[in-house]
Chain A
Amino acid sequence: MSSLEWQRVDTLARQTKRRVFAGTRRSAKIAAHRTRNLAIQGMVLFKRAGRRLWNLRKPLVRWRYRTHRLQEQLSTYRDEWRVEREIERVVSGTGPIVIGPWLSEVGYEVLYWVPFVRWVKAAFRLDPERLWVVSRGGAGSWYADITPHYVEIFDEISPQEFAARNIDRSEGEGTNKQFGMSELDRMLMQRMEARLGTADISVLHPSLMYRLFKQFWSGHRPLNFLDSHTRYVKIAPPSVDLDALALPKEYVAVKLYAARSLPDTPANRAMLRALIESIAERWPVVLLDTGLNLDDHADYTFQSGGRIVSAKPHLDPRRNLAMQTQIIAGARAFVGTCGSLAWLAPMMGVDTTAVFTDARFLHSHLHAARRLYHVLGGGRFSPLDLSALDPLGLSLASRQVATLPAGPAPPPS
């Protein structure tokens, strides 16, 4: 065969081969494409599914978060209901009810405990004759509209023993607040049983109030919660004989003690000294420093003389709160550390300046007090943040040159 013929055969063979395999090649190419597309599509689908799965987490997280929040709220309500049931159990029956014994701070007693007891009495329509208040320092007048029966703790145990056992209690419980029944409480209850001649007594213990209001102080319950568990009224002062004090006709009562809101620092001491001097330039000052170390707040001590009178020599432990209450009630104004008797003074219609330098632990109390005094229509309550004066270059310095000699302030225990 000639080369031309061989060429034709070769061309024919190639053409035949191309014709035979063309479809196959196209199919293979398409198959490869489709496979690749499928892989990509699979990847896309996988990614989408992954994203959907990941997004499924959102409602789950939200649901878990909501459940957690609801559980928290429910536990708050459960605690509240538990306390209310306990109160119902305490007040049921016809036997005497011991209210107290109050062993912790004066501030909590005035601002929360007394109004709480007043609410219990009103809500459960309790006969005042059934109620026996147990407190210390002659605080009976604060409860005068609740019950005529007041039992003085210092009639049962000496102030020294009380202070020692109360410190033990605070250390044992890790807090000064009465969140549970302590040995001291039990001992006082036994004395009450002996005094009343019956073992059939119910106890409305301060722990109920502390447990109930803890939710408010920690921000879990609103202010209305406090409103619905308290009754505030103006307080009438006791009739205590203050002749021995020879009080001036018009005076300003001052009670300054070391606390977390007004720590005992040289700067604060100087500022407070200047404050007293400044007030004394206008009006006589009656210092309500008791000299009694009954709790963890030690009074700032300032030397008296001239227009500054100290009630200290006349204050005996049994009647110290009654006398202080009476002195405040007769004052033109009250100036004191924000806490304790500063919460009481406006309830007696006395204009009050509550002094502090650190409000961190006061927020919820100030929040409650601000609203309460406006509603109650008592004396004007004016918080004075001493730390605000410094940036302004303002001082409480006296206009006169005379400087008040100040005794060393006892460190707060």
Chain B
Amino acid sequence: MNVLAVAANLAGVAANRINRFGRHASKRVQRLWRAGHKGVESSVHVGRRAAADTLALPLRADKAATRTRKRIERFREHVVDPWLDQRAIERDLAALARGTDPIVVGPWLSEVGYEVLYWRPFLAWMVDRYRISPDRLVAVSRGGAADWYRGIASRYVELLELFTPEEFGARNAARRGSGDQKQLAHGDFDTEILERVTARHLGGRKPRVCHPSLMFRLFRRFWFGDRSLDFFLNHMRFERMPPPPGDVAGLPLRYAAVKFYTGAAIPDAPEHRRALRALVSRAAEQMPVVVLDTGLSLDEHRDFLFEDVPNVMLLGDRLTPATNLAVQTRVIARASLFLGTCGSLAWLAPMLGTPTVGVYADDRFLAPHLFVAKHAYRLMGAGLFTTMDLGAVDALDLIPELAASTGPRVRTVQ
């Protein structure tokens, strides 16, 4: 009985052990299987990843190459090319400065605004940078702009003494029609002007020419946003303009000078005429207003007139083609306020120390000039320069006087 019980116990123990062994063995086998499976899986994964990485290598290399190529391209376009252009122009200027030959600066045929805001400070920089004696420089411009070149060029040649205003207007219009308002290249009209200047004012002595195209080429990239403000300021010398001598007869003691003309900044539209009229009327309530109407068609801009507004006077026949800019400069220099289209003489007024409000309805083409003007005026300690966007005023009816005015429309000179 005991033997049987012992045997049964032993058999049970053995069975248990076998069972446990079997369980352990199966667990181990399972574990091994799992590990093996995982290993295979991971090695497949690693393999796949390695394959993918290897396959991606050309793509990554291509991306890196594309990125590098783009960077080089960008660097060439934005750094190397502008620098090469700049060097070429600076070399031209240095060549001009050498020797003792007279240097004609001009002829200036494009807008007054560019002449005042860019050309004059550029010439001032050039004279200073290359130590050119003002005695060598002969400024050639139109409309009696001699005062603007004082201290830069010792001689001034008036284009409207070389050509009649009609002839000049027609030839300049033809120049604009065949190219651009900006003088980006030396044209036939320039050549003819230079021939006349050489023959009549330089005794036949062939001058060197500092053509406005040099300046336009130098700053074109700045206007398009490719060159920095630093670059621009390094090629400009902003100085306040001394008030021109001489008086304009018949002006009140205290007055506001006003010059509004049509252009990209204020297109000729009824709502703009109405708003400008209201502005001028309001200003005329504060002090007499002198409207700088030239009545000349020397460029594509036309003046807005406000002759029927009370307390407004026009300069009328005091402005002749050959002296209109000189007279306007004098009037602005003595004014208590200048109010005008943002552009042209509005850039000049703060340089003469006159507080200025530049008005515009569209700043699409004004952005770089406004940016420059603000910096320039700060550097030269100019008169206060503020701007007024007719859009802001009109959209919200912010200035009641402007919307309240319903007077007759102003006319433009045709």
Contacts and interface: CB of A to CB of B under 8 A. Distances in A.
The answer to whether A and B belong to the same complex is yes
Interface of A: 69, 77, 219-225, 227-228, 252, 275, 278-279, 281-282, 333, 335, 351, 353, 359-360, 363-364, 366-367, 370-371, 374, 380, 382-385, 387-389, 391-399
Given A222-B227, A279-B398, A392 B337 contact: yes
Given A222-B226, A391-B357, A384 B397 contact: no
B393 A384 contact: yes
10 contacts: A252-B396, A278-B397, A278-B400, A282-B397, A363-B374, A383-B392, A384-B389, A389-B388, A392-B337, A394-B279
Contacts of B396: 252, 278-279, 282, 333, 335, 353
Q: Is the interface of A mostly helix, strand, loop or mixed?
A: mixed
A265 B366 CA distance: 31
Nearest to A224: B225
A382 B392 contact: yes
A351 B224 CA distance: 26
Given A279-B398, A371-B367, A385-B388, A220 B228 contact: yes
B368 interface: yes
Overall SS of chain B's interface: helix
Contacts of B363: 370
Interface stretch (B100-108, B182-190, B281-289): B281-289
B375 interface: yes
Contacts of A77: 79
B78 A396 contact: no
B371 A363 contact: yes
Contact of B368 (A335, A367, A382): A367
Interface string B323-356: 0000000000000010100000000000000010
What's the interface size class on B, roughly?
35 or more
Interface of B: 74, 78-79, 222, 224-231, 233-234, 279, 282-283, 285-286, 337, 339, 355, 357, 363-364, 366-368, 370-371, 374-375, 378, 384, 386-389, 391-393, 395-401, 404
B233 A385 contact: no
Contacts of A279: 396-398
Contact of A396 (B222, B226, B399): B399
Contacts of A367: 367-368, 370-371
Given A367-B371, A385-B386, A393 B392 contact: no
A68 to B, nearest CB: 12
A384 B283 contact: no
Given A279-B398, A282-B397, A219 B367 contact: no
Given A385-B387, A387-B386, A394 B230 contact: no
A392 B395 contact: no
B399 A351 contact: no
B230 A224 contact: no
A17 B395 CA distance: 114
A349 to B, nearest CB: 14
Contact of A394 (B228, B229, B355, B399): B399
Nearest to B378: A360
A227 B225 contact: yes
A281 B283 CA distance: 24
A396 B399 CA distance: 5
B408 to A, nearest CB: 21
Nearest to B285: A393
A367 B368 CA distance: 7
A60 to B, nearest CB: 16
Given A282-B397, A363-B371, A374-B364, A224 B392 contact: no
Contact of B395 (A220, A353, A389): A353
Given A363-B371, A382-B391, A392-B286, 5 more contacts: A279-B397, A367-B371, A384-B392, A394-B282, A398-B400
B283 A392 contact: yes
A399 B404 contact: yes
A387 B355 CA distance: 11
